[in-house]
């Protein structure tokens, strides 16, 4: 019962929509104006052609030979009417229905007169009424086509009667047949006109729907957080959303231009991908822009045949730090179990050895060599304990709580705390220019730990050059607008061949170092959707830059 009611309601809704569409189509004057204009051009050509044939042909004339003055006058008046009516159509002086009815009546009268002044039905001019009545019926309301056909029938029969009274040849069967054809045309054309009007209305509606769908697709693509780029077979940009433009540090739009204008590293990789079928379609490459390094995952998918890399392609760009943040959850689970095992299996024995070494050092019977050995035991026991503490910090990073921080007051407070703790002299740690309204999103504790590790390394390495000079800077990247903070030192810098290795766990060149500080710092940054990069300093030294995620872009996702 419910289903039947639903079907009936659906049919009613469809019928109602169709009726409304039909009503709109009937009221729509576009088809009427086009038919009227086309028919009037045909009318003008017929009038002029009849006049030309009359004057250029020798006697007997093909048309108007019965009454030449009447024929020429009628053809001239008919042509003049077509010119005046064309002006009226152009200016839209009269309502469409009236402009459709008036010329058909004039056509009927003019053709009937020219038939009578010529050779009647034998002249062939009667066939023009089929065209005029049929085409005019496309523009008239439902009942008028039959009336117009009846009028044309009476005109044809009247012309034959007058011809018979005047002693000319008549052909009543042909007149009846022509009248029947006119009636059939008039009655058959009207339903066709309704269908044409409905089809045009549907086409316009579909056009509006397609336009709305296109605008909706464009809106959805432009507001996706995922970065999307579409290129054609010539590596020209067909589509890119705002996220991709921002991620690539470009200043668009670049639609219709070569992808190299948007990003040369991306264009170079696409060229390699097209030419090398062994190259994976899901690689990771490093984008260098304005002296900044940003790791990007590029996923390329051909839009043509499967495996065909010569055609258009869809490219998904993803910040590698976001991917690492997703993978981080699985790493934390295994690392947590490992660190718990380390704490249970290693920390207690190391603590027992350190305590035994302290007690042994207090023994009065030890000589200097024995005391030196106990000091070595205590030193390396402390180092192992420090490594264990760092590893345990990794297992506790699953409780990240990012918050919005105003960077300038936070850096000022941190610089003061760090200077007092390490008892630095004035000027050894300075705070550079930081914009007033610069905000970042990161866990407060994680940011403090990362900054402390970076500043502590900067102080230690800078002291090896004979003077400590560490500077904190902050701002926004030129291309992407992402906030960043830098720790700059005046040390020896990092060799380019080992610049990326410094972030690997347990990699260190300093005696007594654990090699976990920078690794933990990068992991903490990626956990908060930030990126820790090393940049070589032109005037000597090192720059460690933290590039934060855009707080405006990810705030809504964090709330969810």
pLDDT for 87 equals 86
pLDDT for 410 equals 92
SS3 429: strand
pLDDT for 3 equals 43
Mean pLDDT of 45-58: 87
356-382 b/e (C-beta count within 10 Å ≥ 16 → b): ebeeeeeeeeeeeeeeeebeebbeebe
CA 167 to the chain's CA centroid: 80
Helices (H) and strands (E) in the chain, counts: 16, 12
DSSP string computed for 243-296? HHHHHTT-----TTSBGGGT-HHHHHHHHHHHH-TTS-SS-EEEEEETTEEEEE
Round to whole Å and give the CA distance between 549 and 312. Answer: 31
Question: Is there a contact between 460 and 545 (Cβ–Cβ < 8 Å)?
Answer: no
Round to whole Å and give the CA distance between 2 and 471. Answer: 76
pLDDT for 289 equals 52
| pLDDT digit string, tens, across residues 313-330 | 888 887 766 666 566 656
pLDDT for 73 equals 92
Phi then psi dihedrals of residue 238, to 5 deg: -105, -30
Whole-Å CA distances, 118 to 75, 159, 182, 352, 507: 12, 11, 21, 131, 110
Of 232-246, 359-373, 501-515, where does mean pLDDT reach its minimum?
A: 501-515
Question: Is there a contact between 294 and 319 (Cβ–Cβ < 8 Å)?
Answer: yes
pLDDT for 305 equals 73
Prior bond to 27 cis, omega within 30?
no
pLDDT band at 335 (very low <50, low <70, confident <90, very high): low
Of 120-134, 334-348, 412-426, 495-509, where does mean pLDDT reach its minimum?
A: 334-348
Round to whole Å and give the CA distance between 457 and 463. Answer: 10
CA 436 to the chain's CA centroid: 34
Residue 22 has pLDDT above 50, yes or no: no
pLDDT for 10 equals 42
pLDDT for 334 equals 65
Round to whole Å and give the CA distance between 251 and 242. Answer: 10
Residue 8 has pLDDT above 60, yes or no: no
pLDDT for 394 equals 57
Residue 386, classified by CB atoms within 10 Å of its CB into exposed (0-12), middle (13-18) or buried (19+), is middle
Phi then psi dihedrals of residue 46, to 5 deg: -65, -45
DSSP string computed for 175-241? HHHHHHHHHHHHHHHHHHHHHHHHHHHHHHHHHHHHHHHHHHHHHHHHT-SSEEEEE-TTSBEEEE-
Of 5-19, 145-159, 333-347, where does mean pLDDT reach its minimum?
A: 5-19
Q: What are the tokens at 448?
A: 């403090």
Place of tokens 């990789």: 269
pLDDT for 229 equals 84
Residue 433: name the closest of 452, 407, 459 by CA: 407
pLDDT for 234 equals 86
Give the largest Cα separation in the chain, rounded. 161
Residue 25 has pLDDT above 60, yes or no: no
pLDDT for 485 equals 92
Mean pLDDT of 217-229: 76
Mean pLDDT of 197-204: 76
Question: Is there a contact between 243 and 224 (Cβ–Cβ < 8 Å)?
Answer: yes
Prior bond to 60 cis, omega within 30?
yes
pLDDT for 342 equals 64
| pLDDT digit string, tens, across residues 128-182 | 888 888 777 777 776 778 888 888 888 888 888 888 888 888 888 888 888 888 8
pLDDT for 14 equals 38
pLDDT for 271 equals 86
pLDDT for 329 equals 56
Of 281-285, 438-442, 521-525, 529-533, where does mean pLDDT reach its minimum?
A: 281-285
Mean pLDDT of 278-288: 65
pLDDT for 27 equals 44
- Relative orientation angle of helices 320-342 and 368-395, to the nearest 10 degrees: 130
pLDDT band at 293 (very low <50, low <70, confident <90, very high): low
Higher pLDDT pick, 337 / 237: 237
Residue 440 has pLDDT above 60, yes or no: yes
Strand 227-231 and strand 237-240: the pairing is antiparallel
Tell me 301's DSSP state.
E
- Global pTM value: 0.40
pLDDT band at 392 (very low <50, low <70, confident <90, very high): low
> How many C-beta atoms lie closer than 10 Å to residue 401's C-beta?
11
Percentage of residues in the chain having pLDDT higher than 90: 2
| pLDDT digit string, tens, across residues 461-510 | 777 666 778 889 898 887 677 889 999 887 777 777 676 678 777 667 66
> How many C-beta atoms lie closer than 10 Å to residue 84's C-beta?
10
Phi then psi dihedrals of residue 504, to 5 deg: -80, 145
Question: Is there a contact between 547 and 482 (Cβ–Cβ < 8 Å)?
Answer: yes
| pLDDT digit string, tens, across residues 298-307 | 788 888 776 6
Residue 518 has pLDDT above 50, yes or no: yes
């Amino acid at each position: 019962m419910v289903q039947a009611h639903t079907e009936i309601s659906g049919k009613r809704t469809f019928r109602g929509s169709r009726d409304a569409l039909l009503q709109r189509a009937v009221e729509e004057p576009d088809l009427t104006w086009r038919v009227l204009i086309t028919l009037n051009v045909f009318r003008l050509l017929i009038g002029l052609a009849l006049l030309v044939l009359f004057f250029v042909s020798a006697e007997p004339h093909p048309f108007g030979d019965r009454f030449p003055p009447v024929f020429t006058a009628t053809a001239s008046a008919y042509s003049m009417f077509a010119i005046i009516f064309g002006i009226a159509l152009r200016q839209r002086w009269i309502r469409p229905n009236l402009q459709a009815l008036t010329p058909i009546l004039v056509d009927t009268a003019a053709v009937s007169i020219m038939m009578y002044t010529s050779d009647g039905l034998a002249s062939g001019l009667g066939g023009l009424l089929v065209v005029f009545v049929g085409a005019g019926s496309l523009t008239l309301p439902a009942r008028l086509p039959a009336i117009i056909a009846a009028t044309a029938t009476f005109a044809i029969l009247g012309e034959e009667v007058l011809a018979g009274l005047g002693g000319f040849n008549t052909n009543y069967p042909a007149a009846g047949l022509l009248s029947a054809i006119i009636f059939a045309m008039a009655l058959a054309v009207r339903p066709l006109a309704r269908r044409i009007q409905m089809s045009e209305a549907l086409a316009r509606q579909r056009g509006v729907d397609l336009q709305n769908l296109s605008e909706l697709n464009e809106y959805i693509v432009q507001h996706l957080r995922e970065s999307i780029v579409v290129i054609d077979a010539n590596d020209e940009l067909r589509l890119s959303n705002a996220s991709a433009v921002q991620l690539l540090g470009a200043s668009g739009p670049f639609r219709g231009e070569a992808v190299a204008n948007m990003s040369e590293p991306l264009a170079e990789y696409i060229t390699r991908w097209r030419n090398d079928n062994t190259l994976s379609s899901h690689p990771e490459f490093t984008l260098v822009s304005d002296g900044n390094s940003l790791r990007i995952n590029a996923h390329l998918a051909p839009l043509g045949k499967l495996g065909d890399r010569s055609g258009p392609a869809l490219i998904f760009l993803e910040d590698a730090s976001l991917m690492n943040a997703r993978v981080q959850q699985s790493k934390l689970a295994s690392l947590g179990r490992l660190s718990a095992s380390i704490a249970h299996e290693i920390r207690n024995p190391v603590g027992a050895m350190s305590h035994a070494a302290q007690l042994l050092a207090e023994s009065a019977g030890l000589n200097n060599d024995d005391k030196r050995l106990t000091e070595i035991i205590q030193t390396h026991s402390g180092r192992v304990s420090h490594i264990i503490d760092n590893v345990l910090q990794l297992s506790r990073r699953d409780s990240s709580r990012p918050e919005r921080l105003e960077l300038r007051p936070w850096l000022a407070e941190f610089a003061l705390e760090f200077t007092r703790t390490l008892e630095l002299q004035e000027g050894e740690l300075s705070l550079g220019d930081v914009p007033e309204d610069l905000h970042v999103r990161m866990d407060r504790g994680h940011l403090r730990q990362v900054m402390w590790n970076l500043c502590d390394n900067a102080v230690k390495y800078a002291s090896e050059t004979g003077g400590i000079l560490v500077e904190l800077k902050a701002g926004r990247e030129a291309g992407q607008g992402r906030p960043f903070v830098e720790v700059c030192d005046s040390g020896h810098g990092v060799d380019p061949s080992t610049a990326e290795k410094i972030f690997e766990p347990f990699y260190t060149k300093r005696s007594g170092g654990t090699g976990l500080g920078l690794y933990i710092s990068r992991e903490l940054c990626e956990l908060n959707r930030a990126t820790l990069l090393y940049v070589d300093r032109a005037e000597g030294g090192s720059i460690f830059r933290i590039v934060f995620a855009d707080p405006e872009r990810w705030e809504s996702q964090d709330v969810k």
